[in-house]
Amino acid sequence: MLNDVKFAIRRLFKTPGFTVSAVIVLALGIGVNTAVFVVVHTLLLAPPSFSKPAEVVQIFSQDKKNPAAYRGFSYPTYRDIRDGNLFAGVLGWKLSLVGLGRKGDTHRSVAAIVSSNYFSVLGVQMARGRAFLSEEELPGRAVPAAVVSYAYWQKNNFDPGVLGSEIFIDGRPFTVVGIAPPGFSGTSQLAAISVWAPFSAYQLVNDSQEITGRPFGDRSGQELMIIARLKPGTTAAAARPGLDGLAVNLEKAFPVEQKDQTFTMTPVPRLSVSTVPQNENDIGALAPMLLGMSAVVLIVACLNLANMLLAQGAARRKEIAIRLAIGGNRRQIVRQLLIEGFALSLAGGASGADARRMVLGAARCFDAKTGFLRYRLEGRRQRSCCVGYFWILHGRCHRLRAGTGAESYAPDCCGRSQGAAK
């Protein structure tokens, strides 16, 4: 057996043209299929990274006279919903593109400005450190605290000194008070949040007054999105009448700011971050389509490799005939051919893993030049990959600018946000 292995390796090195061609065909087939499966699994099949996702809903503010019009929430409205005792917990948040890193080494990343109960409502426990305190939420206090993602910690070689260290967000110093658990990057399967900051630091990350003319905390603001966790044993339908009543009461109490506004809720979307409810039922059809396309690529690769092996076999007919003539038996020859095929498969599989990394790497967005947002794909390792084509298939590319309408809070695939690094 050992002699057969040595002979197989010598044989592959003796025919480098055939060996390289076969390995390339295998690598492309395996790499492309693995990359597509990672994308499909991460975006469409993998469960959300927060606890009990069936209990979590997103709340939207809808215009009663124009049901197609939606908008974000102000911080006071968020507090009214949170204190209404309709849900087990209510959180507010907003995405922003920022410059993140240590002094002298920053890069564009996705940040979330969140309420102090963000992690507790989602049922997420810190890997290290703590979550935000209630006093760190109050607008105007400007507490420079931050929680970084596990991926950020991993990029820093799991340095224990990251906790308690100073990082810079848009050039302003923040103290790392916690590290999120592995696999958690927010509620969306697309946006890979690298850092979270409390509401009190909103002005440090986003100058909302410069954009909208209103300071953060003004009741007329529309900066936030709201996610709520249903009470145990309560369904969304059962919670809806209370939410409708709260909307009516707020409209009476604040007839200008809450004019014609009612509240609706849907399950938290997987592939969108928006103040407008999204129908993602058609997105599920992408999985079989993409897997089918990758299967076709794999079949073509197999057919090409089969043709190459047949041609190689025809060229070796004389060699095999001589081996039979000098006493070799068919079992030994078949075993030798199988070992050669196995060695070729190992080389192709190893190259396929590299090809997968190349395929995902080739899809990375050059955010420094184009302003594209990077998204994380999680397979066996974490990778950054631009999946902007999912936004195209999803029907729109939302803007990440406050005060520009109902679709102003989703990642901007086409340019910088106001919170991006200057």
Of 339, 362, 385, the last residue of a domain is 362
Average pLDDT in the 252-281 region? 90
Q: Over the stretch 106-133, which tens digit does the pLDDT of each residue have?
A: 888 999 999 999 999 999 999 999 999 9
Most confident of the ranges 22-36, 54-68, 192-206, 285-299: 54-68
For 84-101, letters b (16+ CB in 10 Å) and e give bebbebbbbbbbbbbbbb
Q: Which residue did the predictor score with more confidence, 402 or 198?
A: 198
Closest CA to 78 of 241, 235, 268, 223: 223
Percent of the chain with pLDDT over 90: 41
Is the per-residue pLDDT at 369 higher than 60? Answer: no
Residues in the chain: 422
306-325 mean pLDDT: 84
Tell me phi and psi for residue 185, to 5 degrees: -140, 30
- Res 175 pLDDT > 70: yes
Lowest mean pLDDT among 41-45, 88-92, 233-237, 411-415: 411-415
pLDDT at 338 over 90: no
Same domain, 40 and 57: no
Residues 113 and 251 in one domain: yes
Tell me whether residue 341 is in a domain: yes
Count of beta carbons in the 10 Å neighbourhood of residue 405 = 16
Q: Does residue 198 surpass a pLDDT of 80?
A: yes
Which residues, other chains included, contact 278 with Cβ-Cβ below 8 Å and sequence gap of 6+? 269, 271, 272, 394
Q: Look at the block and give the residue holding tokens 């910088």.
A: 416
Nearest to 380 by CA among 28, 62, 103, 37: 37
Higher pLDDT, 211 or 193: 193
Claim to verify: residue 289 and residue 253 sit in the same structural domain? no
In this structure, are 66 and 114 located in the same domain? yes
Name which residue leads in pLDDT, 210 or 195. Answer: 195
More confident residue, 341 or 58: 58
pLDDT single digits (tens) 135-145? 999 988 889 99
Q: Look at residue 92 and give its three-state secondary structure.
A: strand
The burial class, CB within 10 Å (0-12 / 13-18 / 19+), for 238 is exposed
Q: Is the pLDDT of residue 203 over 50?
A: yes
Residue 295 and residue 335 in one domain: yes
For the stretch 300-309, pLDDT in tens is 888 988 888 8
pLDDT confidence of residue 316:
82
Element (H, E) at 146: strand 145-148
Report pLDDT digits (tens) over 207-242. Answer: 544 555 678 889 999 999 999 999 999 999 999 999
Same structural domain for residues 63 and 181? yes
**Per-residue confidence (pLDDT) for residue 207, from 0 to 100:** 58
Which pLDDT band holds residue 3 (cuts at 50, 70, 90)?
Answer: confident
pLDDT at residue 32, as a whole number: 82
Let me know whether 236 and 321 are in one domain: no
**What is the pLDDT, as a whole number, of residue 31?**
83
For residue 24, tell me if it sits in a domain: yes
Is the separation of the CB atoms in 413 and 388 below 8 Å? yes
Same structural domain for residues 74 and 199? yes
124 shares a domain with 79: yes
Sort residue 325 into left (φ over 0), alpha (ψ -120 to 50) or beta: alpha
Are the beta carbons of 179 and 153 closer than 8 angstroms? yes
CA 48/CA 59 separation, integer angstroms = 18
pLDDT at 359: 63
Provide the pLDDT confidence category of residue 417 given band limits of 50, 70 and 90: very low
More confident residue, 183 or 228: 228
Give the mean pLDDT of 325-348: 83
- pLDDT for res 276: 92
Cα 271 to Cα 285: distance, rounded to the nearest angstrom: 13
Count of CB atoms within 10 A of residue 122's CB? 23
Say how far apart CA 340 and CA 249 lie, in whole Å: 77
Residue 394 has pLDDT above 80, yes or no: no
- The C-alpha atoms of residue 376 and residue 254 are separated, in whole angstroms, by 41
Residue 380 covered by a domain: no
- pLDDT value of position 341: 82
Q: Is residue 25 part of a domain?
A: yes
> Worst-scoring range by mean pLDDT, 13-27, 67-81, 147-161?
13-27
Task: Specify the number of domains making up the chain.
Answer: 2
Residue 220 lies in a domain: yes
Q: How confident is the model at residue 413 (pLDDT cuts 50, 70, 90)?
A: very low
pLDDT (0 to 100) of residue 360: 63
**Cα–chain center distance at 272:** 10
Alpha helices (H) along 129-260: 150-155, 202-205, 208-212, 236-253
Same domain? For 14 and 133 the reply is no
CB 159 within 8 A of CB 144: no
Indicate if 161 and 89 belong to the same structural domain.
yes
- In this structure, the answer to whether residues 181 and 296 fall within a common structural domain is no
User: Bigger pLDDT: 285 or 176?
Assistant: 176
Please, are residues 374 and 255 in contact by the beta-carbon 8 Å criterion? no
Q: Which domain holds residue 309?
A: 2-44+285-362
pLDDT of amino acid 90? 97
Query: Which of the residue ranges 176-190, 227-241, 362-376, 390-404 would you say has the lowest mean pLDDT?
Result: 390-404
